Amino acid sequence: MSQRSYSPDELKTTLAGGLIPATPVTFDREARFHERAHDAYVSFMSSQPIAGVAVWAHTGRGLLLDEEIRTRVLRRWREAIPDKPLIAGVGARHQQSNPPEATRETLAMASAAAADGADALLVYPPFWLKHNEHSDSLIVEHHEQLSRLGLPLVLFYLYEAAGGIRYATSVLDELLTLPNVIGIKMATLDSVMTYQDVARHISSQHPDKLLITGEDRFLGYSLLRGAKAALIGMGAVCSDLQAELLAAHFAGRAERFLELSDAVDRLAEVLFIDPMEGYIARILYALAKLGIIPAEGANDPWGPALTTREFDNIDRVLNKLYVQVE
């Protein structure tokens, strides 16, 4: 199947103003890949108003999937969206303590993604370098090696509890000037100060780079503070509302933006709650509740069990959401 190839500048233009869902993977209760549910989800999402799709990100358990399932997931998405950008998360497992080996593992994952049709790479933070005395130079070196593969790169600033690492401003400057780096996805969760500081720095020092919000819990505000696109797990469900939210913001339709921002915040407040690792199962439950995937495929083998109260809260929001924003 043919697909278009994107230069870094072309990809920035294509993604700007758009929603890129970080997509989950469907499993049954025995932790087996549920292909029928995944096919149903891919078919539905391929018709939604999205700018592209991200696979193998945290929402898609990219670092936990075995190679066979990773390949099947990426190839299915490639087949479904040949004319839209497909971004693949790449990294190494968090317990990896040997920096050269972790980089080799990341490069192998990146090469596999490229071979199967990915248009760009979302680079997981090299968490294994967090306490290394040479962490700054090794972080840059890690990204330099990925840059040499030739695909556009999206940096990933992730909060530490989810496997992220804090980048010093000097490190960010070096990373943002590497060849093929088109921008950075910010996912700080509850550190508005960090988001503000990085957003301001990019606006003043790297205005040619794309600030991409991954801030599910303050999506609307993150757009107001400079994000030009959204790559978020929440975008995997109710993507039509979030795509319209972005469109309203960039078109200057303030009243509609505020209305949609309030609605999307209510969704985030039942999906992205403690325990945070449960958000993937909550998204899958919401997809099943909306009739997009079969309920038997709405399982996350790695997350905590959900409670009846969580189900009820998601039901309540979904039942109100579409009525109130029409």
pLDDT of residue 77: 98
Confidence of residue 162 (pLDDT cuts 50, 70, 90): low
In a domain, 299, yes or no: no
Residues in the chain: 326
The CATH number of whichever domain residue 200 belongs to comes to 3.20.20.70
In a domain, 44, yes or no: yes
Q: What is the domain extent for residue 221? A: 8-251
Nearest to 38 by CA among 321, 316, 231, 298: 298
In a domain, 320, yes or no: no
pLDDT of residue 165: 80
In a domain, 275, yes or no: no
In 3-state terms the chain splits into helix, strand, coil percentages (rounded to 5) of: 55, 15, 35
In a domain, 87, yes or no: yes
State yes or no: pLDDT of 97 exceeds 80.
no
- Residue 165 structure tokens: 């690492």
pLDDT of residue 95: 59
In a domain, 295, yes or no: no
pLDDT digits (tens, 9 = 90+) for 232-287: 999 999 999 999 999 999 999 999 999 999 999 999 999 999 999 999 999 999 99
State yes or no: pLDDT of 2 exceeds 60.
no
The CA-to-CA distance between both ends of the chain, in Å, stands at 38
pLDDT digits (tens, 9 = 90+) for 75-95: 999 999 999 999 999 999 765
Confidence of residue 1 (pLDDT cuts 50, 70, 90): very low
In a domain, 319, yes or no: no
pLDDT digits (tens, 9 = 90+) for 124-161: 999 888 888 888 999 999 999 999 999 999 999 877 76
Q: What is the pTM of this model?
A: 0.95
In a domain, 325, yes or no: no
β-pairing, 120-123 with 19-21? unpaired
Q: Count how many domains the chain has.
A: 1
Cβ atoms of residues 123 and 153 within 8 Å = yes
